[in-house]
Amino acid sequence: MFRPKALGGAVTALATVAAGVGVAVAVGAGPAVAAGTGTGYLHTVGNQIQDSTGATVRLTGINWFGMETDNKTFHGLWSSNPWRGQLDTMARLGYNTLRVPFSNDALKPGATATGINDFVNPDLVGLSPLQILDKVIDYAGSKGMRIILDRHRPTSAGQSALWYTPTVSEATWINDWKMLAQRYAGNTTVIGADLHNEPHAEGTNPAATGACWGCGDTARDWRLAAERAGNAILGVQPNWLIFVEGVSCPSGGLSNVWDNDPSNDEDCGWWGGNLSKAGQYPVRLNVANRLVYSPHEYATSVYRQTWFDAPDYPANMPAIWDKYWGYLYKQNIAPIMMGEFGSTLADPKDRVWLENLMAYTGTGVTGMSFTYWSWNPNSGDTGGIALDDWTNVNTTKQAILQPYLIAPTGGGTTPPTGGPTDPPSGACTATYRQVNAWQGGFQGELTVTNTGSAAANPWSVSWAWPSGVTLGSGWNATVSQSGTTVTAAAPSHAPSLPAGGSVTVGFTANGTASAPATVKLNGTGC
């Protein structure tokens, strides 16, 4: 991110989830629903993403930037929170995917990672940026998370309107992508390539010099460049998803506002956020079912677009999203994965924007995928989910996102050996808090305390719901449902619930708001 923005506008209506209004988004359920991020490599079917078994997957992720900057590695490695601890928190909160921005500088032989706290992260000392990335990928994969690699900048100096610059050629861009595809071939944690971050307009029409969509100029047409790079990657790694962002102005240039001729003033959007021409000029890949469109969307803390001050705001926003990118999903053309969206939430309008945007993406596994910007608190115009200590969390932002997060599960870790250690009979207590409710669903937190004299290792909490209430998503545990029974199993990174310890299992559910009944810890009633 880090960009000025262009303008645009449109009209329609949608209230927030909290107001109890459903989302007018057409969704098609897959043949099955995958827990977390599913199994094996992913592919697309219409507007859905599916795993290797054909189960539907929703990517609900977050950006962790830094590898695109002068540090050439993840920011926050200078903090007192170890890098694994930060990934633990992301997974616990429900982020099942990590989008990793990088620059081509970080991939060069001899590239050096800086800004690392050697005392907190001794295992990273002396490693190259790519070797640190390897470790993050391996650990994230052990937690069931997926990785999307994002070519954010050609160099660490800044973003570029086009995918190449005088010092970083198109050939370098494509060859580096092929190198990454080969490096992670066979590693199903790494699922795809976000080809170039935020292509955008430059120059004033008719002398445009920026990225266009569908103009046919091979030096500027981002759609054609995405095809060249996407097909080169798929030639090396045919299992990857190819994430293609939009432009800002389809012409690739800014309108001349001084010519007093409104007829040629183009309707533009955010950098990377305008996919209005993708229906007419689709990206064509040589391997079917690999294309995901990935727009960016921001609020007033980044730039005060005209639509934020429209008299019918926020009712005008869904039509704007429809026009720029939502139609691709609604018309079942391709999946949407919002690669970036965020705000400081300093302006009350921004909170309304975020609530409406999340409602627009839809609830449950068939909703649009996304990766929030960002984990990092040092994003100047958005802030982050992490606070300045890189440990604690912005609870206001997290509460808005939480109902839409589908926690990672699995990941191939070896479960603890032996059976569960049951606490003595009656040695647990349970309390329930309803966090939110909306038309057709609700969010809750169930806290279970082990009041016995022995640890429950591994722990497992179960409860019953009335018929018709179904699980949407869960976090802080591997949550699943069979019939009317819901089971929350201990995550692999925190299998033990000590005597006197508590665990809070969060969830969203579909149906009438209902408190968990017959709560049990490892089979013993609370």
- pLDDT score at 401: 96
- pLDDT score at 25: 28
The 10s digit of each residue's pLDDT in 284-308 is 999 999 999 999 999 999 999 999 9
Closest to 18 in 3D by CA, of 403, 469, 510, 407: 403
Q: Which member of 202, 227, 340, 355 is catalytic?
A: 340
Decide if pLDDT at 507 tops 60: yes
- Where is 140: in which H helix or E strand? helix 129-142
Query: Is 355 annotated in the active site?
Result: no
Question: Which of 192-201, 358-367, 378-387, 450-459 is predicted with the least confidence, judged by mean pLDDT?
Answer: 450-459
The 10s digit of each residue's pLDDT in 164-187 is 999 999 999 999 999 999 999 989
Tell me how far apart the alpha carbons of residues 499 and 477 are, in angstroms, rounded to a whole number: 18
The 10s digit of each residue's pLDDT in 186-240 is 899 999 999 999 999 999 888 899 999 999 999 999 999 999 999 999 999 999 9
Q: Which residues contact 417 (CB under 8 A, 6 or more apart)?
A: none
**What would the mean pLDDT of 317-343 be, rounded to a whole number?**
98
Tell me how far apart the alpha carbons of residues 479 and 239 are, in angstroms, rounded to a whole number: 28
Averaged pLDDT score across all residues of the chain: 87
- Amino acid, res. 473: S
Residue 400: count other Cβ atoms within 10 Å of its Cβ.
Answer: 20
State pTM to two decimals. 0.74
Indicate the DSSP class of residue 422: P
Query: Is 340 annotated in the active site?
Result: yes
Q: Which two tokens stand for residue 452?
A: 């016995």
Q: Which member of 198, 245, 266, 355 is catalytic?
A: 198
Q: Which residues contact 497 (CB under 8 A, 6 or more apart)?
A: 448, 450, 455, 456, 457, 459, 490, 503, 521
- pLDDT score at 418: 32
